Amino acid sequence: MADESVDHRFASDNYAGAHEEVLAAMAAANRGYAVSYGEDEWTARFGEVARRHFGEQCEAYPVFNGTGANVVALQALLPKWGGVICAEGAHIATDEGGAPERVAAVKLLTIPTSDGKLTPELVDTEAWGFGDEHRAQPAAVSLTQATEVGTVYRPAELRALADHAHELGMRVHVDGARLANAAARLGTSLRELTTDVGVDVVSLGATKNGGVCAEAVVVVNPAGAPGVKYLRKMDGQLASKMRFLSAQLTALYEGDLWLRAARHANDMADRLASGLATVPGVRITHPTEANGVFAMLPRSVASEVRKRFSFYDWDRRTGEVRFMCSFATTAEDVDRLLDAIGRAARL
């Protein structure tokens, strides 16, 4: 059981509750009866919202969680003999219990990166063996936006990767659990980071940005990822009362709630990073481009601060830690954490 005397708000953006506007939308959907399995007005409305963001050609499928979204998306993109090229630290490789390999039955071809981001040159280190029956065939590239270390792909970087992948006959998937944070940081639309740069399928995040239990598989290129309608059911991701998933997604993406929530989380991360940069012995290890702050803390400082605040040990060997901010993080929250770190550093 979690220690209730410890403040858990910096451990993960999943620790935050739901945004009140999302809860209000779910409450509004909880009136009367509605046809099940997505044949309802809320799901139809979310489909319209998704098309406004990603283009009239796109198809949107609400699912329960990010792992489910990634598994369904990768299954749709790949043949049974296909492999997925991804960063070594990608969520699909490190935090999904082997689901992409065990459930989707795809081979992950991982590549070490210094900043969480792939490049065409890095992709080429695993994009080989085409036609070789002894090797899983590289068939897709999966990118995490924002990355697991909080860095953000620019549109030009995404375009270069997508063009290169397509030239090699591969499709492109974006794990967009924090896509909203990337768009907020860059000042772009969601389309500019997906459809316009050649992405084929997006796992669209909601839970980390104020949702309760909702993500979506957005098929930007239906010809390149067939069968999502059937795979969603096979993978246990088809909600019978789908109106409650769709109501959350619509609440976030119909207006600007997704952007407001992500921008606030990013701003709080900026505030935290700026404060940490002034603490003796503390070093920021990655650019703070989304809502996560990665830093090296002296072990004595980390141990002392952990008595009051929870956060992740990102690399126990080196002492690198991760702090996450969310739509619910306040400036006062950040300042209390900074005060605790500063006091510990002076002990």
Q: Show me where the domains of the chain are located.
A: 20-255, 258-346
- The answer on pLDDT for 226 being more than 90 is yes
Q: What is the pLDDT of residue 2?
A: 52
* Nearest-angstrom CA–CA distance, 172 and 289: 22
Q: What is the pLDDT of residue 5?
A: 77
Give 238-281 pLDDT, tens digit per residue: 999 999 999 999 999 999 999 999 999 999 999 999 999 999 99
Residue 347 pLDDT level (bands cut at 50, 70, 90): confident
CA distances to 53, 56, 206, 217 from 72, rounded to whole Å, are: 21, 21, 17, 8
- The answer on pLDDT for 310 being more than 90 is yes
Q: Is the domain 258-346 a CATH 3.40.190.10 member? A: no
Residue 337 is classified by DSSP as: H
* Nearest-angstrom CA–CA distance, 321 and 252: 30
**CA angle, corner 203, sides to 198 and 208, nearest 5?**
130
Instruction: Name the average pLDDT for the chain.
Output: 96
Residue 157: Cβ within 10 Å count: 16
Residue type, 258: W
Mean pLDDT value across residues 24-30: 98
Lowest mean pLDDT, pick from 198-207, 232-241, 313-322: 313-322
In angstroms and rounded to an integer, the radius of gyration of the C-alpha atoms of the chain is 20
Contact by Cβ (8 Å): 209, 252: yes
Q: What is the pLDDT of residue 3?
A: 58
**pTM attached to this predicted model:** 0.96
Please tell me the class of the 20-255 domain.
Answer: alpha beta
